[in-house]
Structure 1
Amino acid sequence: MDSQTKHAVPDVALDRSFFDLLTGSHLRIVGRPLMPVDQGPRWLYEHAPFVLLAHDGGTDPTFVYANRTAQTLFEYDWNEFVGLPSRLSAELPDRAERQRLLDRVAAKSFIDDYSGIRIAKSGRRFRIERAVVWQLIDGTGVDRGQAAAFSSWTDVT
């Protein structure tokens, strides 16, 4: 893979309707903007200083979005991340706790105080702190999954 291909921005990362789903649902549900209003999809994907992940609403949800900050932290590129079952972002013993989080978000529409242990592709463990997790509900009220944003994490030994 040449360096141009490796750093190409996937079409869905710049998709305006998905961007509107991420930012619009965050504003409606959480009550504040996800990002500066003068920025767009490219900034969110390439330059946002926070992790942004989203998974679909399936019975075994899979990631449908991971910005570059998320890819760096979790050590997966776009093609590895998208389609990966989101449960694999937590080690087996931590998956029940992760499911409780997702159930809590589904019941309340969002939480803004989540902390938990996650695992990178290499096996490196890290604690995410003060994550906001919200339902991805589109403008017509259809639930399309969940998203998470956080900018604080520390490696765990």
Structure 2
Amino acid sequence: MERLGNGASERHAKIILDSYNRLLGKPLVDSEGAGGTSEAELLFEAPIVVLSHGTQADPVLNFGNRAALGLWEMDWDAFTQIESRHTAEPMIQAERQRFLEAVEKQGYIDDYNGIRISSSGRRFRIEQAVVWNLHDEDGNYYGQAATFKNYTFVQEGES
């Protein structure tokens, strides 16, 4: 597993998983029958796309599971050095405002759709993504995470 398994990564995985469970009232990944598998490994190997970014003014991605790395066609080092806005096409201002207000109001949104761009320029539409705020064990804001399982590759000019 890439760059996971140390204390910070285990903590980060726990924050992602706990924040999701607290806000949405259900687990993000199924740990049933996982045995001694760590939360970080479960999250990294999950069959859904999971990614997160930090709290910087221009947030930088700080986690992507195997599915995210594959979809964006990046390795861990490249993925965790990119500003999250560079993975997407610019949002229409009204759509962005609705999105931000919904996440602010309830801590998450569970119906986000948008166009993303891989490192090679492949465009894909994500559908029914969940985006949620992350808070650490002390309640401090820790960034945001997103997950989705539905996406479709799109041709140039499609949206």
**Could you tell me which residue of structure 2 aligns to residue 44 of structure 1?**
43
RMSD: 2.1
Report the counterpart of residue 57 of structure 1 in structure 2: 55
TM-score w.r.t. length of structure 2: 0.84
CA 1:103–1:122 in 2, change beyond 3 Å: closer, same or farther?
farther
CA distance in 1, matches of 2:53, 2:101: 14
Instruction: State yes or no: 1:72 paired with 2:70.
Output: yes
Partner residue of 1:11?
4
Describe the SS at the equivalent of 1:11. coil
Cα distance change on mapping 1:48 and 1:95 into 2, 3 Å? farther
TM-score, structure 1 length as denominator? 0.85
* Matched letter for residue 27 of structure 1: N
Q: Does the 8 Å contact 2:5/2:41 carry over to 1? A: no
From 18, 24, 37, the equivalent of 2:18 is 24
Offset at residue 136 of structure 1 (A):
0.4
Q: State the Cα distance separating 1:11 from its structure 2 match.
A: 3.2
Q: 1:18 offset after TM fit, Å?
A: 1.1
Q: Percent identity?
A: 39
Stretches of structure 1 lacking an aligned partner (at least 5 in a row): 1-7
The aligned residue for residue 134 of structure 2 is 136
Equivalent residues of 2:60, 2:81 under 8 A apart: yes
1:13/1:42 contact within 8 Å kept: no
Distance 2:86 2:130 in 1: 19
Runs of 4+ in 1 over 6 A off after TM superposition: none
Aligned residues: 148
List aligned pairs for 1:96-115, cutoff 5 A.
96=93, 99-100=96-97, 101-115=99-113
Q: Secondary structure at the match of 2:91?
A: helix
Give 1:138 deviation, angstroms.
Answer: 1.6
- Quote the offset at 1:113 in angstroms: 0.7
1:70-111 residue CA offsets vs partner (Å, 9 max, x unmatched): 0100111100000210000112x4375774434532332001
Displacement of 1:127: 0.3
How many Å apart are 1:114 and its aligned residue? 0.7
What CA distance in whole angstroms lies between the structure 1 residues aligned with 2:6 and 2:70? 16
Alpha-carbon offset, residue 30 of structure 1: 1.5
User: For residue 18 of structure 1, what is the amino acid of its counterpart?
Assistant: H
Unaligned regions of 5+ residues in structure 2, if any?
Answer: none
